[in-house]
């Protein structure tokens, strides 16, 4: 059971990234890149709606009306850069921590 719980964050991260990509792909496919070309995104599910709200809040999407949005390319790039930076910081913290814990567990035997 422990190994299945450790897989859960990875699956959730993959679902989030995949949903983000589908949202961005849909907006690009409809050329929704300005307020004039904003579109209504379908309300697919909880994760989809949450990601649309999150991307709107972070500046990657711009809401023209309550149901119409368009892609802000500069905001999307800034969001991706920020996300990449957060992942790198997490990895930079996790790797030494894992090495230290492994080292400490080896010393105990």
Instruction: List beta partners, residue 63.
Output: 69
Residue 69, number of CB atoms within 10 A of its CB: 23
DSSP-based helix, strand, coil % in the chain, nearest 5: 70, 10, 20
Q: Length of the chain, please? A: 109
Q: What is the pTM of this model?
A: 0.79
For residue 26, give the DSSP letter: H
Torsion sign, CA atoms 22, 23, 26, 31: negative
> Per-residue confidence at 1, pLDDT binned at 50, 70, 90?
very low
Domains within the chain, CATH numbers bracketed: 2-107 (1.10.10)
pLDDT in tens, 8-45: 888 998 999 999 999 999 999 999 999 999 999 887 89
Q: What is the pLDDT of residues 46-89, one digit of tens each?
A: 999 999 999 999 999 999 988 899 999 999 999 999 999 999 99
């Amino acid at each position: 059971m422990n190994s299945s719980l450790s897989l859960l964050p990875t699956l959730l991260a993959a679902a989030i990234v995949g949903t983000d990509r589908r949202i961005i792909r849909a907006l690009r496919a409809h050329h929704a890149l300005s307020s004039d070309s904003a579109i209504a995104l379908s309300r697919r599910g909880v994760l989809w709606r949450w990601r649309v709200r999150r991307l709107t809040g972070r500046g990657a999407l711009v809401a023209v009306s309550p149901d119409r949005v368009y892609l802000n390319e500069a905001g999307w790039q800034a969001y991706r850069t920020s996300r990449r930076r957060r992942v790198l910081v997490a990895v930079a913290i996790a790797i030494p921590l894992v090495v230290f814990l492994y080292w400490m567990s080896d010393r105990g035997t």
